[in-house]
Amino acid sequence: MPPHLSSPYGIRPPKSAATPMKPGSPALQAPPLSEFYDSRTRMQHLLQPRHKTSPLIWCGAVVCVVFSLLLILAGVITLIIFLVVKPRNPSLDLTAASLNTIYIDSSTYLNSDFTFLANFSNPNHKIDFTFEYLGVELYFHDRIIAVQAVQPFAQRTGESRLESVHMVSSEVSLPPGLALQLQQQVRSNSVVYSIRGTFKVKASLGAGHFSYWIYPRCDVELSAPPNGVLVAKRCRIKS
């Protein structure tokens, strides 16, 4: 006889049968309806179609992209031109100079007459220059003693041009120390001046052109007046 039938009290269920729920044990509960509706609402938000991008935003983006491409293209073209043409600044040299007068009165006022011959050269083979502004200043130990302007002119590739520049100092006040030093240089037959220029140059290559500033400087040594001549020089240009 099977074991589950051998009970003296009658038939008993097998051990594998489900055990009835004990009193007080928690019952299985369905999720609340609020959670169901919340998840459904979130799903509806996700499935909603997004708003279309404004045409103005698209136009702005296209303009920015085109402008960026143009900047990159301009930079590449400039680099190619620089590598092919190899532009160089115009050069300035002094071929001659004369110191005619230096006179310092008792009140340390300077009167001077100085003339030099400047040689402007264009060393480029494909770029023309136009000197739109030329200002020249004469210094003695960082003290300006004369100013002069030169008439604008144009210069083609490979050309040179000579310009005579006359610098006159009239009643220019000098500190007593500088006045004494200048007098000593005259007595020692070695006067040192500094010529400084401020030039605005327009460079032209075909149909394109651009303007920029250059700052030539020449330090010169002259013999004493009235027959002072150029003894030594050193010229350079900064841009």
How confident is the chain (239 residues) per 10-residue block, as mean pLDDT? 50 51 53 57 59 77 90 82 76 94 90 96 92 96 95 94 95 92 95 96 85 95 94 91
pLDDT of residue 162: 96
CA distance 97 to 222: 8
What pLDDT does residue 59 have? Answer: 87
Residue 21 lies in a domain: no
Residue 148 placed within a domain: yes
What residue numbers bound the domain in which 164 lies? 91-238
CA neighbor of 143 nearest in space, from 96, 177, 186:
177
Q: How high is the pLDDT of residue 169?
A: 94
CATH code, domain with 174:
2.60.40
193 neighbors 126 (Cβ within 8 angstroms): no
| Structure-block tokens of residue 208 | 């394109």
Answer whether residue 66 is part of any domain: no
Domain assignment present for 30? no
Query: What are residue 154's phi and psi, to 5 degrees?
Result: -110, 155
What pLDDT was estimated at residue 37?
Answer: 54
pLDDT of residue 207: 78
Tokens at residue 141, please? Answer: 């130990």
**H-only helix segments in the chain:** 33-47, 55-85, 176-187
Residue 214 inside a domain? The answer is: yes
For residue 36, being part of any structural domain is answered with no
Cis ω before 3 (30° cut-off from 0): no
**Radius of gyration of the chain, Cα coordinates, nearest whole angstrom:** 47
Residue 166 lies in a domain: yes
**Dihedrals φ, ψ of 39, to 5°?**
-65, -35
| Phi, psi (rounded to 5 degrees) for 128 | -95, 150
Number of domains in the chain: 1
pLDDT of residue 80: 76
- Specify if 128 maps to a domain: yes
